Amino acid sequence: MNDITLHRDLAKFLAEQEGKSLLRFLTCGSVDDGKSTLIGRLLYDSKLLFDDHLSALEKDSKKHGTTGGDIDFALLVDGLEAEREQGITIDVAYRFFATEKRRFIVADCPGHEQYTRNMATGASNSELAVILIDARKGVLTQTRRHAYIASLLGIRHVVLAINKVDLVDYKQKVFEPIVAEFKEFAKDLGFSNLVAIPMSARFGDNVIEESPNTPWYNGPTFLSHLETVDVETALAAQPFRMPVQWVNRPNLDFRGFSGTVVSGRVRKGDKVVVAKSGRESTVKRIATMDGDLEEAVAGAAITLCLADEVDISRGDVLCEPTARPEVSDQFAAHVLWMMDDEMLPGRQYLLKVGTATVPATISELKHKVDVNTLEHLAAKTLGLNEVGYVNISTSRPIAFDPYAENRDTGGFIVIDRFTNATAGAGMIDFGLRRATNVHWQAMTTNKRLRSAIKGQRPAVLWFTGLSGSGKSTIANLVEQKLCNLGRHTYMLDGDNVRHGLNRDLGFTDADRVENIRRVGEAAKLFVDAGQIVLVSFISPFRSERRMARELLEPGEFIEIFVDTPIEVCMQRDPKGLYEKAKAGEIKNFTGIDSPYEPPELADITLPTVERPPEESAEEVIEFLRERGFIF
Amino acid sequence: MQQFAGAARPQEFGVAEVERDPHLSHLKRLEAESIHIIREVAAEFRNPVMLYSIGKDSSVMLHLALKAFYPSKPPFPLLHVDTTWKFREMIQFRDDTAKRLGLNLLVHINQEGLTRGINPFDSGSSLHTQVMKTESLKQALDKHGFDAAFGGARRDEEKSRAKERVFSFRTASHTWDPKNQRPELWRTYNTRINKGESIRVFPLSNWTELDVWQYVMKENIPIVPLYFAKQRPIVERDGTLIMVDDERMKLADGEQPEMRMVRFRTLGCYPLTGAIESTADTLEGIVTEMFTARTSERQGRLIDSDEKASMEKKKREGYF
């Protein structure tokens, strides 16, 4: 490309540039298989490095290099200080390059298991995966893990790069068994195109030039394969989908819906439907700053104006009337967990699908997948970097497609509600039909009516605190006082509920979450009956208390923190439990070997040290009077 | 699956001439991706701002923001962190641009740094950048309580940038933890933050320098004239061509500015930005030059090579 010096060639040249297709691929595999080195070699041999980068590389190689004075290509992509010091890749690096035939975006992914989530990040936007294998080591656990995750994220094209063949004397009989072993493992992973290439990234064998050292290999070189592999996904031929990002309303005369066409195409005059509401309209304009368009295809960022006033907001999906997405509040999906805290069925998370964000819970973990054998294993929770198959229930219906058909409307992220961390990535399999068929039974008598006859506003008084903090004592007193005032109450006590409704649950984190979920639901039924419900539960996790809060209407949930220091609780130890926990006779005891997360903003905080329970109970009654729950 | 059985446009594999997928051209694809990112921020954040550094990348980013919300105006202000050492032509261009487009432009100067007399000549580039750019930026973000800030950085610029997310999380003290970034899948960006935390957003992450220039040319985007070659007063220091932009530039003994035909590939504080010798005085000329370039654009940036892993260090501390 360096011979372009004349202006008159420029226009032609630019047109060629514009027309080149793009291949997005990732490099993955186990630690030290040579991923970064391969990318570095590719850039170096295709003369795509700037002089100042090259001289910096030579300098760096002497300082940090692991190749004994030779250029260490890995240093080209391992850009973080920690990476260079430790000689490992921690996060994805993106590199951009182009040859005469094609443009490339390569995501160089880390090999360590602990950084699997970063590998998934790289895979989510790639069409092809280059899986490296060290010829001396063969197929390793990480090779299988990465192959599986690439497959899970929808990658159908794989290059198996058997690297470091120089260290096994370029032997065909080393190469072939590795390829056979990988193919056997990958036979159910849905790869439509798998090409194995023997190479040496360090010395350049079969990277760009055919190697004289592997005369037995007749396939393409690495680069020539990348330049020619057909990965067309025909997105524009799929049904039209546009998740609405933003409602554009500069003045009364213009109302547009902005978003990216993620699949299919849309023309002026086309009928479109709002997936969730089923409301239909016609495309009046496709507005852009460069003028109105007649048609927009997959990938375009546009603004649609419709012929009718239809209620549409961010999170809605516009689609074509004859090929709509599913709409449901329950679906089955694969989830890759990405957070240190394990995934707990029953806990509430946020789910972001396209442009819609909704509260959701994992209603069931059906199994987790052993990445080594692809076997299904029974599990109660998912840990960091584990993959599970789950049912998910969202707080309101969403529109989606199976991930296999549409990455944009079928992929979702899971967000932790407290840290806001991206806790997981999910790929929707199918909607659960049940959701569309179980409808709410509309009742003529309602909560308002039921509570009105009782002369009170229903509420949940949620007492949380350590074991022995005095929750039940105070709750009992409050209930007595309310009964004396002629109010209608009900008490759900932690220990008592565990004898009946929750008899089947233990004390693991997962069971604690389910424990609270059931009590929350039970309390909700009593509130619907018009009662003032007292719940006395240790309920150690913020997220579950929040989940209980969100089951109810705003204002109905009153969080009462019985604030007693653990030393005092241990001293009181009314049931002798701390003694047993310390002796190791009780596992997962809150405050001893299981955490308690105090409320950040309790509605009422009751310190109990040097304060009689009677006073605390009176404070709660006073609160209920002030807020108009009792009059 | 079954619901697609009756799709309006089945894939017609049987017909003689299979219609190829009409994909967007390269620049259109980049443009659409950036617009998507910009809209996502406007829709999800309470109080976003667009960092406007006046350079070509900022010009492109601003142009994309205009497109993203057309016919509305971008629903956020522009912020320029002024070190008081920018080229005079940059400041002129900045003010003209805000006026021409009718946009709200905020300018922040670290007054404390000014009082302390921080400048690139006596304080050194490192301290100057730390106080007048990084600290100043943090002051401005805190002052206005911005929860998201767009920056025009690209992944091809520098190695630590190549590792950064499109939506890059910052703690309440504006620090970046490169070892613990949020996974970022598809174009589904996690925009959730707690109070005081913020996100830096890079809509041009996947653009290269060449893409930027081709787009400037295709869209006819106004840029600062310093990008075009012209006779300018230059002194050469340690192989770097520094333009004498005002009387604050102290000349060493025997140093005498001479008129040379130069242009800038990248723009920053004038004493810290090296010019290149060039005759490219049109966009076509610049693009042609780009195709034959053998050095990277940041080579002319003195602040990048201050110390080892220099950019990453600055970024951790809150630099863009």
Domain-by-domain residue ranges, chain A?
7-228, 235-319, 326-434, 447-626
- List the catalytic residue out of A451, A539, A543, A616: A539
Residue in this structure with the two tokens 């190829």, named with its chain if needed: B20
Cα dihedral A520, A522, A523, A524 in deg (nearest 10): 90
Is the pLDDT at B8 greater than 50, yes or no? Answer: no
Q: Which ipTM did the prediction report? A: 0.85
Q: Is A348 helix (H, G, I), strand (E, B) or coil?
A: strand
Helix or strand run (H / E) with residue A542: helix A542-551
Q: What is the pLDDT of residues B171-183, one digit of tens each?
A: 888 888 887 889 9
Chosen from A266, A303, A317, A405 to mutate, greatest number of chain B CBs within 10 A: A303
Phi/psi region, residue B318 (left: phi>0; alpha: psi -120 to 50; beta: rest), is: left
Positive or negative, the CA dihedral A470, A473, A476, A478 is negative
The CATH superfamily of B26-209 is: HUPs (3.40.50.620)
Out of B4, B32, B43, closest to residue A300 by CB: B32
* Interface touch A245/B36, C-beta < 8 Å: yes
- Which residues of B are less than 8 Å from A51 in CB distance? 294-295
- Which residues of A are less than 8 Å from B14 in CB distance? none
Per-residue pLDDT band for A466 (boundaries 50, 70, 90) equals very high
Amino acid at A358: V
Mean pLDDT for chain A? 87
Whether A126 is a known active-site residue: answer no
Lowest average pLDDT, out of A47-51, A493-497, A579-583, B241-245, goes to A47-51
Distance CA B14, CA B8 (A): 16
Chain A nearest C-alpha distance from B160 (Å): 5
* Interface touch A18/B25, C-beta < 8 Å: yes
* Interface touch A52/B4, C-beta < 8 Å: no
* Interface touch A22/B29, C-beta < 8 Å: yes
pLDDT at A438: 46
Does A216 reach chain B within 8 Å, measured CB to CB? no
* Interface touch B193/A420, C-beta < 8 Å: yes
Residues in chain A: 631
40-69 in chain A: CB under 8 A from chain B: 50-53
What number of C-beta contacts closer than 8 Å exist between A and B? 225
Distance CA B242, CA B280 (A): 18
What class, spelled out in words, does domain A7-228 have in CATH? alpha beta
What class, spelled out in words, does domain A447-626 have in CATH? alpha beta
pLDDT at B17: 33
What does the pLDDT average to over A460-474?
92
Domain range A326-434, its CATH number among 3.40.50.970, 3.30.70.250, 2.40.30.10, 2.40.50.140: 2.40.30.10
Opening angle at CA B202, ends B200 and B208, nearest 5: 150
The strand pairing partners of A393, in sequence order, are A330, A361
* Interface touch B183/A338, C-beta < 8 Å: yes
Chain A nearest C-alpha distance from B34 (Å): 9
A157-163 and A93-98: which strand pairing?
A: unpaired
- Which residues of B are less than 8 Å from A323 in CB distance? 3-4, 6-8
Out of B7, B35, B161, closest to residue A301 by CB: B35
Per-residue pLDDT band for A87 (boundaries 50, 70, 90) equals low
DSSP assignment of B201-246, as one string? E-TTTT--HHHHHHHHHHHT----GGGS-EEEEEEEETTEEEE--S
* Interface touch B183/A422, C-beta < 8 Å: yes
Share of chain A above pLDDT 70, in %: 93
Out of B21, B39, B206, closest to residue A245 by CB: B39
Distance CA A264, CA A279 (A): 20
CB–CB of A435/A473 below 8 Å? Answer: no
- Which residues of B are less than 8 Å from A152 in CB distance? none
Give the chain B residue whose CA is nearest to the CA of A103.
Answer: B26
Highest-scoring range by mean pLDDT, A56-65, A220-229, A426-435: A220-229
Chain A nearest C-alpha distance from B87 (Å): 25
Does A246 reach chain B within 8 Å, measured CB to CB? yes
A7-228 and A447-626 share one fold = yes
Out of B19, B20, B296, closest to residue A53 by CB: B296
* Interface touch B32/A301, C-beta < 8 Å: yes
Residue among A46, A45, A40, A44 nearest A65 (CA): A40
Give the chain A residue whose CA is nearest to the CA of B12.
Answer: A237
* Interface touch A405/B4, C-beta < 8 Å: yes
Lowest average pLDDT, out of A55-64, A189-198, A268-277, A595-604, goes to A55-64
Q: What is the pLDDT of residues A208-264, one digit of tens each?
A: 889 999 999 999 999 999 998 887 667 888 999 999 999 999 988 899 999 999 999
What does the pLDDT average to over A316-335?
92
Is the pLDDT at A137 greater than 50, yes or no? Answer: yes
- Which residues of B are less than 8 Å from A260 in CB distance? 32, 35-36, 187
Q: Topology of A235-319 in CATH? A: Elongation Factor Tu (Ef-tu); domain 3 (2.40.30)
Q: What is the pLDDT of residues A573-625, one digit of tens each?
A: 888 888 888 888 888 888 888 889 999 889 999 999 888 999 999 999 999 99
Per-residue pLDDT band for A440 (boundaries 50, 70, 90) equals very low
Give the chain A residue whose CA is nearest to the CA of B190.
Answer: A422
- Give the residue, A257 or B22, on which the prediction is more confident: A257
Residue in this structure with the two tokens 């590939």, named with its chain if needed: B265
pLDDT at A114: 75
Domain-by-domain residue ranges, chain B?
26-209, 223-305
